Amino acid sequence: MPKIVIKPYNRIIKCKTGDLLSHVIKKAIPNFPTPCGNRGFCGKCLVRVLEGKLSEVTGNERLHNLKTGERLSCQAKVLSDLVIEIPVFEQYRALISGYEPKVDVITPILEKKIVEVKYSTYHKPIPVDKILLKSIDAEGFTGKCIGNLVYAKNFSRITICKRGKNVTHILNGYKKIYGFAVDIGTSKIATYLVDLDNGETISEIYIPNPQTKYGDDVISRITAVINDKNTLYEMNRMTLSSIEKMIKEMAKKNNIEIKNILAGVIVGNTVMISIFLGLNPEPIGRSPYIPYLSTKIEDYGDRFSFNLLRDAWIYIPPAITGFIGADAIADIVTTLMIEDINKNILIIDIGTNSEVALIRNGEIFVASAPAGPAIEGEQISCGVKSFNGAIYRVRIEKDGVNFLLYGETPLGLCGSGIISLVSEMLRKNIISKNGRFYGDKSFFEIVSKDKSSTGKPITITQRDLREIQKAKAAISSTWSLLLMKNDLSVNDIDRCYICGSFGSSLDLEDAINIGLIPKMPLEKIFVLGNAAGIGAKLMLISEKARKISEEIVSKAKFIELASDKNFMNTWIRNLNFP
Amino acid sequence: MPKIVIKPYNRIIKCKTGDLLSHVIKKAIPNFPTPCGNRGFCGKCLVRVLEGKLSEVTGNERLHNLKTGERLSCQAKVLSDLVIEIPVFEQYRALISGYEPKVDVITPILEKKIVEVKYSTYHKPIPVDKILLKSIDAEGFTGKCIGNLVYAKNFSRITICKRGKNVTHILNGYKKIYGFAVDIGTSKIATYLVDLDNGETISEIYIPNPQTKYGDDVISRITAVINDKNTLYEMNRMTLSSIEKMIKEMAKKNNIEIKNILAGVIVGNTVMISIFLGLNPEPIGRSPYIPYLSTKIEDYGDRFSFNLLRDAWIYIPPAITGFIGADAIADIVTTLMIEDINKNILIIDIGTNSEVALIRNGEIFVASAPAGPAIEGEQISCGVKSFNGAIYRVRIEKDGVNFLLYGETPLGLCGSGIISLVSEMLRKNIISKNGRFYGDKSFFEIVSKDKSSTGKPITITQRDLREIQKAKAAISSTWSLLLMKNDLSVNDIDRCYICGSFGSSLDLEDAINIGLIPKMPLEKIFVLGNAAGIGAKLMLISEKARKISEEIVSKAKFIELASDKNFMNTWIRNLNFP
C-alpha cells in the first residue's frame, strides 16, 4: 500500500497502487478542488511531486504546460510512495446565515402535545389510544409509532406529535423536541438545528458538498451518474451521512438527544434533491429538463434512507421545473414571509445556476439563468474559492492595487473579488464598457508573483473578462426580460431581494456598476444571505411558510427564456457593461 | 443431543437435555395439544414413555392419576434418548370459508390505474410525476414508492396504485394486482388470496395458530407474555412468518409473484391483533380490559415487521373494546353487507370468546360472552379438537349410539359432537332440563373402550355436563339480556346470523334444543361460516365494507353485562336447558 505524504499539511495517507491521486488527496483534504470532475480540463488540481512515481502524463496534462514535477492529480495514478505538495486550500468561507423574518406564530411541521394519561379503570373508560387522539385532535396513528403506545400507561406522562391527521411520535415523558433544516447546495451543505418548541435556531454549520468529488457543477454530477450508476448511490450515501454527521455534531455540542430531533426540512436544486432521494438526475440534464419528482414529498427519515434520523419526519418542498427547485422556492418563501405579494418585487439568487423571480400584483414569474461557474470565480485563470488567500474586494489606487483578502497571503480572486475588480477596472478606465482592455494590454496584474502564495502573479486576462461578461449577461438578460415581458421598468420595482450565499457576499455598488443587478437606490435593495436555508427553517417552524411554498408552485409561471426569440439579442446587448 | 422417537408417527427429533418434552413434540407435531399452556392443568399432553429417562414427576402430574409409563409432556424434561407414544392428533378441521355477500362495485383498498406515460419533450411538458398524480387523482407520493418513479420514463407503461391521496405503488409494466385477507384466530390462522382486479378469491388456506405453543386460550398467551417478555416477540414472529408462509404457498401454487401482492386486511381478536402488532397484550387481561391500540391502523407491511410482504399496504379495522375486536367487527361487516341495518338482527359468534351483536333500527349493541373453552370441547373429559377421530354428531337409538366422525376410529367428541350429544340426551330423557342424569347414572358412554382408539371408553360425565351448562348459560344470557334491555323478544328478531368456524359447524336444531341459540324458525337463521375472514376479504375489496367497519365502531354501544345487576340471575336461570 503506497504511502502519500501531502505537504504543506504533512498529512500522510495510504492508498492502493493505481488509485487516482486526486481521489487520494480528497480523502485527506476533503476541500481539495476538482471542479471539472476529474476530466483534466481546469487544472485546479495541480500538485508538485517531490518524490515518487505516478502513471504516464496524459494528453490533457500536456495542454496545461506543466513544469517539471507538476502533475494534474486527476490524471495521475499512484504507482509508489509519494511526497507531494498542494496549494493551501482551507475550508472555504460561505455565508449560511441570513435575514430571518419574524414568525408570529410557531406552527412546526409537527404539532406537539404533552399528555398526562389518566383513566378510570372502572365503568366504560376511554381507551388510551383514544385519549391520545383526542388530546391532539388526530384521527389515527402511523404504523411506525404504534409500538410506542406502550408508554401510554395509566398515570404516565408522554409527549406526542402529529402531522396532518396522524400521530407520528409518542415519546416517554415530557420532552423538548427539535428539528433541522438543510440546504443542499451544489458546493456546500448547510444544516441548521432548530428548537421546535420556540422556533429558535440553536446552531448552524456547513461543510463542502462531498459530491464535489464528482465535479463542481450539477452537469458534472449528472455526467458521473451516466458514466457509472453506482455513483448515484455513492453520492446519495455521502450526502445523507454528511447531513447526519453535522446534526450529530450540533446535537452533541448542545446536549440534545438525537432521538428528540423529530422533523427536518430539506431544500436544494433539483439535481441535489434527486441525489438526496436516490433518484437518477439524468432527465434534468436533457430536454425537457424535468426531474422524476417535482411534487412535495414528506415521510419518515428511514424512507429517505436516513439512519440516525430514521424517525424524523422529513419534508421536501416542491420544485417548479428542473431549473427552479426547492431551493429557489425557499428563497421566494423567505421573501414572501417579509413582503406583500401585491407589490412589485424582484428576487435574484446569483450563482452558477441563478434564479430570478418577479412578483407582480400577486402573480409570480420565475426564470432560470444558466450563468455558468465563471460568476463564482471558477474557470477564471486567477479564480479561487473563498479559502484562505482569496481576494474578495479590490480598489485600484494611483499607488497600486489595494485589496481585502481572507488570511495572510494572496492566492487568487474569489467570485466577489473578481466582480469587485471588474467594477473597479471600469471605474478607473482600465477596461471599456465592451470589456476590452484599453491600449494594448491583454491582462491586468493584481498581485505580483513575489507577493503571491503560488509564486505566480495574480492577473485577470481578456479571456477571463469575456467569461465574466457572458455570465453577467445571462443574469441581467434574465431579469431585464422578465421585467420587459411584464411591461415594467426597473423604476417600477418596489424592492429587489438578493439571495444566496454568493450573491450576498457581493459589494452592491460593484454589482450595480457592472450591471449584474438593476440600478436602483440601495435602500430598495435587500440582501437576504442564504435565503434558501432560511426558507427551509421557516417551513420547518411555520405553517404559513409551508402554505406559501405550495402556493408558489401552483401559481408560479416558469418563463422559458432559452426559447424566447428576444433572449439572444438581449444577451448580446447585455455583454456590454452599463 | 438426546434423540426422541415419537410413535405412532415414527417421527424422530433431536433436542437438548433439559428441554421440555411438550416443546420437543410440538416441533415435530405442531398440532400436538397443550391447551392449558404447559401448566399441567388439563392433562391433554399425556404421553406414554416406552423407553428413556425424564425429569421427576411433578405435583400436578400426580393430580392426574397417571398410570405407569404415562407422563404429562408439559411437566417432563428430557434427560436421555426417548421412545414415546402420543395419541393420533391430525391437523384439525376448521371451516374458513363462508357465505360471501355479492359486492356490486369492487373498490379495493388500493385504487389501481394503468398509465401510458407520454409527454412532449418540447414546450412546457407536464412533469412525469404530475402525469401520474393526475391520472389517478392523487396529491402526492409516499416516501416508500418514489424510488420507482424511474419506471415512468417517456413511452413507458406502468401500473400505479393509490390509497387516500397518496400514490403507494409504482410498478413497471401492466400488472395484475393481488391482495390478501387474514383472520388470526386464537386457534387457527386463515388466509385468503384475492385478485384485486375482480375481487375474486383465488385460494384460501389455514394452519393451527403456532401461538398455541403458549396455551390454547388468550389468557394463557397473556400469561406467557407476563412471565417472559421475549414470548411476545416470539409469538409475533411466529404469526408473521406463518402468514407469509401461507401466502407464499398460495402464490406459488397460482403462479403469482409476491411483489404483485400489494394489499392486505388483517382481523383477529384484540389479543391476536396486539401480538400481531408486537404490542403487549397485558392490559387486555386486566380491568379495564382495553388494548393499547383499538383505532384502525393502516401502513406498509414493513411497518408491521412483514418481510416478504413489506411493500403491501396493510389495513387493520378498529376494535370496540378488549372483548370486541376486529374479528367481531368483521362479522358485523359481513352481516351488514347482506342485511338492512334498520331491521332487528341478532348476530352470534359462538366460541371460547363469544360475541353477540344486536342491530335494532340502525342502532348497534354489542356484548361479549366469556363462554370458556368447554363450549368447543376443551376441558371436557372426552373432548378433542376436530382432528381425525372426532365425533361431531350423535344420535341415540334404541339399539345403541350412532355417530358421525372424522376418519375411522373414534378418539373423542369435538365441540359440535358434545352439543349434539347433550341435545340428544335431553331428547331421549337421559338427562333432565337441569342437567342431571336421570337415575343414579354419573356418566353416559358413547363409545366403549374396545372401539375407542385410546383404549378407554368415550364418556360424558356429570362434571362435563356442568361445564357445558355454564358455557351455554354465558352465551344465552348474553343474547337474552341484550334483547331484554331493548324490550325485544325472540319473536321480534327478523334474522339471526350465526358466525364463526365453530358456531357454523353446529347442528342448528341441536343448538336450539339446548338453548344455545334462540328458538326461532330455521328459515330466519343464517349460518355464515367464517364471517370474520369473509369480512376481512370484503374490507379488502369494498370501500362500502370499510366504511361500515368504521361506522360500526363509531355507532356501536358496548353493553358490559358482567357488571349488570341482572346478569347473575339470568345466568343462573340459563344454566337449565329450555
User: What DSSP string describes B346-398?
Assistant: EEEE-SSSEEEEEEETTEEEEEEE---GGGGTTTSTTB--SSTTEEEEEEEET
> Residue B317's closest chain A neighbor by CA?
A140
Measured on CA atoms in the order B71, B73, B77, B82, is the torsion positive or negative? positive
* Residues facing B261 on adjacent strands: B178
Instruction: Please state the three-class secondary structure of A524-575 as a single string.
Output: HEEEEECHHHHHHHHHHHCHHHHHHHHHHHHHCEECCCCCCCCHHHHHHHHC
Task: Report the distance separating Cα A315 and Cα A329, nearest Å.
Answer: 13
Q: What is the pLDDT of residues A552-569, one digit of tens each?
A: 999 999 998 877 888 899
The more confident residue out of A330 and A100 is: A330
CB contact under 8 A, A292 and B152: yes
CB contact under 8 A, A125 and B288: yes
The predicted pLDDT at position A49 comes to 93
Closest CA to B181 of B192, B195, B173: B192
CB contact under 8 A, B125 and A288: yes
Average pLDDT, chain B: 91
From chain A, pick out residues whose CB is under 8 angstroms from the CB of B279.
146-147, 149-150
Q: What is the pLDDT of residues A128-184, one digit of tens each?
A: 899 999 999 999 999 999 999 999 988 899 999 999 999 999 999 999 999 999 999
CB contact under 8 A, B292 and A128: yes
Residues B423, B416 contacting (CB under 8 angstroms): no
CB contact under 8 A, B292 and A150: yes
How distant is the Cα of A392 from the closest Cα of chain B, in angstroms? 40
From chain B, pick out residues whose CB is under 8 angstroms from the CB of A292.
128-129, 146, 149-150, 152
Q: Which of A129, A144, A303 has the CB atom closest to B292's CB atom?
A: A129
CB contact under 8 A, B290 and A563: no
**Mutation site, A146, A276, A298, interface B, largest B CB count within 10 A:** A146
Q: What are phi and psi of A397, to 5 degrees?
A: -105, 175
How distant is the Cα of A182 from the closest Cα of chain B, in angstroms? 18
Q: Which of A144, A150, A295 has the CB atom closest to B303's CB atom?
A: A144
The predicted pLDDT at position B504 comes to 83
Does 3.30.420.480 match the CATH number of domain A178-316? yes
Q: What average pLDDT does range A283-312 have in this prediction? A: 94
Task: Report the distance separating Cα A500 and Cα A531, nearest Å.
Answer: 6
Task: Report the distance separating Cα A498 and Cα A531, nearest Å.
Answer: 9
| Length in residues, chain B | 578
For the cut 90, the answer to whether the pLDDT of residue B71 exceeds it is yes
The predicted pLDDT at position B91 comes to 56
Task: Report the distance separating Cα B141 and Cα B303, nearest Å.
Answer: 17
Instruction: Write b or e for each residue in A542-573: b if 16 or more Cβ atoms lie within 10 A of its Cβ, otherwise e.
Output: bebbbebbeebbeebebbebeeeeebeebbee
Exposed, middle or buried by CB within 10 Å (0-12, 13-18, 19+), for B560? middle
CB contact under 8 A, A295 and B130: yes
For the cut 80, the answer to whether the pLDDT of residue B65 exceeds it is no
> If you count residue pairs, one on A and one on B, with CB atoms under 8 Å apart, how many are there?
119
CB contact under 8 A, B296 and A147: no
Q: What is the pLDDT of residues A425-480, one digit of tens each?
A: 999 999 999 999 998 889 999 999 888 877 788 999 999 999 999 999 999 999 99
The predicted pLDDT at position A121 comes to 67
Is this prediction's pTM over 0.80? yes
CB contact under 8 A, B295 and A120: no
Q: What is the DSSP letter of B77?
A: B
Task: Report the distance separating Cα B395 and Cα B382, nearest Å.
Answer: 17
Task: Report the distance separating Cα B446 and Cα B460, nearest Å.
Answer: 8
> Residue A294's closest chain B neighbor by CA?
B129
**Mutation site, B133, B134, B148, B293, interface A, largest A CB count within 10 A:** B293
Task: Report the distance separating Cα B505 and Cα B497, nearest Å.
Answer: 13
From chain A, pick out residues whose CB is under 8 angstroms from the CB of B563.
123
Residue A226 corresponds to which cell in the numbers above? 451516466
> Residue A295's closest chain B neighbor by CA?
B140
From chain B, pick out residues whose CB is under 8 angstroms from the CB of A278.
147
For the cut 60, the answer to whether the pLDDT of residue B89 exceeds it is no
From chain B, pick out residues whose CB is under 8 angstroms from the CB of A128.
283, 290, 292
Residues B169, B145 contacting (CB under 8 angstroms): yes
For the cut 70, the answer to whether the pLDDT of residue A123 exceeds it is no
Q: What is the pLDDT of residues B537-578, one digit of tens each?
A: 999 999 999 999 999 999 999 998 877 888 899 999 999 999
- In which band, very low, low, confident or very high, does the pLDDT at A93 lie, cut at 50, 70 and 90? low
From chain A, pick out residues whose CB is under 8 angstroms from the CB of B147.
277-279
The predicted pLDDT at position A91 comes to 55
Residue B397 corresponds to which cell in the numbers above? 337409538
Task: Kindly write down the DSSP assignment for every residue of B99-124, as one continuous string.
Answer: -----SS---SSEEEEEE----SSSS
For the cut 80, the answer to whether the pLDDT of residue A41 exceeds it is no
Q: What is the pLDDT of residues A530-545, one digit of tens each?
A: 999 999 999 999 999 9
> Residue B145's closest chain A neighbor by CA?
A303
> Residue A296's closest chain B neighbor by CA?
B140
Which residues fall within 8 angstroms of residue B332, CB to CB, at 6 or more apart? B347, B357, B359, B364, B366, B535, B548, B552, B556
- In which band, very low, low, confident or very high, does the pLDDT at A64 lie, cut at 50, 70 and 90? confident
Multiple choice CATH, B3-85, 3.10.20.30, 3.60.20.10, 2.30.40.10, 3.90.1300.10: 3.10.20.30
The predicted pLDDT at position B97 comes to 80
How distant is the Cα of A300 from the closest Cα of chain B, in angstroms? 8
Residue A336 corresponds to which cell in the numbers above? 414572501
How distant is the Cα of A430 from the closest Cα of chain B, in angstroms? 44
Which residues fall within 8 angstroms of residue B192, CB to CB, at 6 or more apart? B96, B180, B181, B182, B201, B203, B204, B533, B536, B537
Cα distances (angstroms) measured from residue B156 to each of B111, B153, B172, B550: 20, 5, 8, 39
Q: What is the pLDDT of residues B323-346, one digit of tens each?
A: 899 999 999 999 999 888 889 999
From chain B, pick out residues whose CB is under 8 angstroms from the CB of A270.
none
From chain A, pick out residues whose CB is under 8 angstroms from the CB of B150.
279-280, 292
- In which band, very low, low, confident or very high, does the pLDDT at A124 lie, cut at 50, 70 and 90? low
Q: What average pLDDT does range A238-242 have in this prediction? A: 97
3-state secondary structure of A418: helix
Q: What is the DSSP letter of B58?
A: P
From chain B, pick out residues whose CB is under 8 angstroms from the CB of A558.
124
Question: Percent of chain A scored above 70 by pLDDT?
Answer: 97
CB contact under 8 A, A121 and B563: no
For the cut 70, the answer to whether the pLDDT of residue B222 exceeds it is yes
**Mutation site, A133, A270, A303, A560, interface B, largest B CB count within 10 A:** A303
For the cut 70, the answer to whether the pLDDT of residue B94 exceeds it is no
A518, A523, A524, A528: CA torsion to nearest 10? 90
CB contact under 8 A, B143 and A299: yes
Residues B74, B45 contacting (CB under 8 angstroms): yes
> Residue B119's closest chain A neighbor by CA?
A288
**Mutation site, B130, B160, B226, B290, interface A, largest A CB count within 10 A:** B290
The angle at the Cα of B465, spanning B463 to B468, to the nearest 5 degrees, equals 115
How distant is the Cα of B513 from the closest Cα of chain A, in angstroms? 35
Q: Which long-range contacts (CB under 8 A, 24 or more apart) does A52-56 make?
A: A52/A2, A52/A4, A52/A78, A52/A79, A52/A80, A52/A81, A52/A82, A52/A83, A52/A84, A53/A79, A53/A80, A53/A82, A54/A21, A54/A78, A54/A79, A54/A82, A55/A79
CB contact under 8 A, B123 and A563: yes
Task: Report the distance separating Cα A482 and Cα A369, nearest Å.
Answer: 11
The predicted pLDDT at position A288 comes to 84
Q: What average pLDDT does range B75-93 have in this prediction? A: 81
For the cut 90, the answer to whether the pLDDT of residue B63 exceeds it is no
Q: Which of B140, B277, B278 has the CB atom closest to A295's CB atom?
A: B140
**Mutation site, A123, A293, A313, interface B, largest B CB count within 10 A:** A293
| Length in residues, chain A | 578
Q: Which of A127, A279, A299 has the CB atom closest to B149's CB atom?
A: A279
Q: Which of B143, B287, B295 has the CB atom closest to A141's CB atom?
A: B295
**Mutation site, A149, A172, A300, A305, interface B, largest B CB count within 10 A:** A149
Q: What average pLDDT does range B214-225 have in this prediction? A: 89
Average pLDDT, chain A: 91
Residues B561, B478 contacting (CB under 8 angstroms): yes
Task: Report the distance separating Cα A305 and Cα A292, nearest Å.
Answer: 18
Q: In whole angstroms, what separates CA B72 from the centre of its chain?
A: 27
Which amino acid would we find at residue B255?
Answer: N
From chain A, pick out residues whose CB is under 8 angstroms from the CB of B283.
128
**Where exactly are the structural domains of chain B?**
3-85, 111-172
What is the pairing mode between strands A70-72 and A11-14? unpaired
Instruction: Please state the three-class secondary structure of B216-241 as a single string.
Output: CCHHHHHHHHHHCCHHHHHHHHHHHH
User: Which range (A39-43, A63-67, A303-307, B233-237) has the least confidence?
Assistant: A39-43
From chain B, pick out residues whose CB is under 8 angstroms from the CB of A121.
287-288
**Mutation site, A294, A299, A311, A553, interface B, largest B CB count within 10 A:** A299
Residues A211, A161 contacting (CB under 8 angstroms): no
Instruction: Please state the three-class secondary structure of A440-502 as a single string.
Output: CCCEEEEECCCCCCCCCCEEEEHHHHHHHHHHHHHHHHHHHHHHHHCCCCHHHCCEEEEECCC
Closest CA to A537 of A244, A186, A103, A206: A103
For the cut 90, the answer to whether the pLDDT of residue B35 exceeds it is no
Which amino acid would we find at residue B468?
Answer: I
How distant is the Cα of B316 from the closest Cα of chain A, in angstroms? 11
Task: Report the distance separating Cα A80 and Cα A18, nearest Å.
Answer: 9
The more confident residue out of A60 and A222 is: A222
Rg of chain B on CA atoms, in Å: 26
Residues B266, B314 contacting (CB under 8 angstroms): yes
> Residue A134's closest chain B neighbor by CA?
B295
User: Which range (A468-477, B286-295, B370-379) has the least confidence?
Assistant: B370-379
Task: Report the distance separating Cα A342 and Cα A350, nearest Å.
Answer: 24
